[in-house]
Structure 1
Amino acid sequence: MTKYYEFSLRFDVSNCGKNQDQIDDSLFEAGCDDALVRHGRHGEINITFERQSSTALDAMQDAQKQVLLALPQAKLLEVKPDFVGPTDIARVYSITRQRVQALVNTKLSHVHPFTSVGNTQIFRLANVIDALDSQGRHHADEAIREAATAAMQLNRQNL
């Protein structure tokens, strides 16, 4: 059974020797025609996919292979959705950021943040989903759960 998975891959392309148009063309020719490419400063691109596959991990690995085929010198920096803040969690569950803050202080108090940026705590989305599901109060879409778990796995392997 196949599902649609939404995920992003962030790459450093500063050593690829291509301009933005050449990068976009190379990605398209390599099969990333289902991707939205955003070019950032300092030679980074963020590629958002909505891809159909039997598993989220297969979808992400296939996309990564296509990008590296198009841009062999690219370096994977991050796979999303993995690291999330309260706003991202609120989007996943269609609740307010304030409700997420309340959950962090109560239901998620045993889920330690991966890191903090200023006053914002950063969590691994798969851990948040597992914690909330174990309490039976909030349920995430299964495709999001799979994508978060696969992204966490790939980030652990690659970073």
Structure 2
Amino acid sequence: MQHYHFSLTLAGVTSETPELEDSLFASGCDDGLVCFYGKSVYVEFDRESENFAKAVLSAINDIESGGSGATVNSVDANLVGLSDIAGLSNMSRQAIAMLKDGTRGPADFPSPVQRLKGISPLWRWADVAEWLHEKGKLSSDLAANARQLEIINIALQLRETKQRQIIECYSSLLANPLKLAEFCH
């Protein structure tokens, strides 16, 4: 068994929810630290499990079955900036910036996915972690955990959206070029 560190962002509760900490502790979150950002609530876990996905999913189950009214919105950060990448990879921000710019190592760093025009672009952590692993700068376990994190976050987003059927329709269209072409014309 290994220990996994991760944070879960909660909905349905605030920093003012009575007896929140006691409720979460009683539901099995004795390995989590309840934290607040303003009125928002997140729980930082150090959970022992067979693998990362089981650690995260068991924590989600413990939170949501505890009777506090809390649901889980997300796991850690799926989108990351250069400083986040540096912290997650135990490298300096300068080293990451040099890898991104191609002044150090191969010039094939993953492309950012959001805020490309801004001063703080964002990358998918799973893409960067996989790239860093391929370059020998991150362990295979951390890269695999990053991919699991992305998948669990997508599942949480799909669970919460009221437009799930539309998303499934678009996914089907995007997966089938002939249907997509027919739809667009």
Q: Please give the range of the TM-score, normalised by the shorter of the 2 chains.
A: 0.7 to 0.9
**How many angstroms apart in 2 are the aligned matches of 1:141 and 1:26?**
36
Contact 2:133–2:143 (CA<8 Å) still a contact in 1? no
Shift of 1:40: 2.4
Aligned residue for 1:128? 128
**How many angstroms apart in 2 are the aligned matches of 1:68 and 1:59?**
14
Q: Deviations over 1:127-146 (max 9, x none)?
A: 11111222x3412362x333
Contact 2:110–2:128 (CA<8 Å) still a contact in 1? yes
Shift of 1:116: 2.5
**How many angstroms apart in 2 are the aligned matches of 1:108 and 1:24?**
47
Q: Which has the larger radius of gyration?
A: 2
Contact 2:13–2:41 (CA<8 Å) still a contact in 1? no
Verify: 1:25 aligned to 2:22, yes or no: yes
Within 5 Å, give how 1:38-117 maps onto structure 2.
38-42=35-39, 44-71=40-67, 73-106=69-102, 107=106, 109-116=108-115
Cα distance change, pair 55–81 in 1 and its aligned pair in 2 (3 A): farther
Alignment: residue pair count: 153
**How many angstroms apart in 1 are the aligned matches of 2:143 and 2:101?**
22
**How many angstroms apart in 2 are the aligned matches of 1:13 and 1:109?**
42
Contact 1:13–1:71 (CA<8 Å) still a contact in 2? no
Higher relative contact order (CA 8 A, sep 6+): 1
Shift of 1:104: 1.4
Shift of 1:70: 1.9
Contact 1:26–1:71 (CA<8 Å) still a contact in 2? yes
Q: Which has the higher strand share?
A: 1
Structure 1, unmatched stretches of 5+, are none
- Secondary structure at the aligned position of 2:121 is classed as strand
**How many angstroms apart in 2 are the aligned matches of 1:6 and 1:14?**
22
Letter in 2 for 1:90: A
- Secondary structure at the aligned position of 2:46 is classed as strand
Structure 1 vs Structure 2: percent identity of aligned residues? 24
**How many angstroms apart in 2 are the aligned matches of 1:108 and 1:80?**
28
**How many angstroms apart in 2 are the aligned matches of 1:88 and 1:78?**
17
Q: Deviations over 1:85-130 (max 9, x none)?
A: 2112112222211111111122464512232284112222221111
Contact 1:108–1:131 (CA<8 Å) still a contact in 2? no
Question: Could you tell me the TM-score, scaled by structure 2's length?
Answer: 0.72
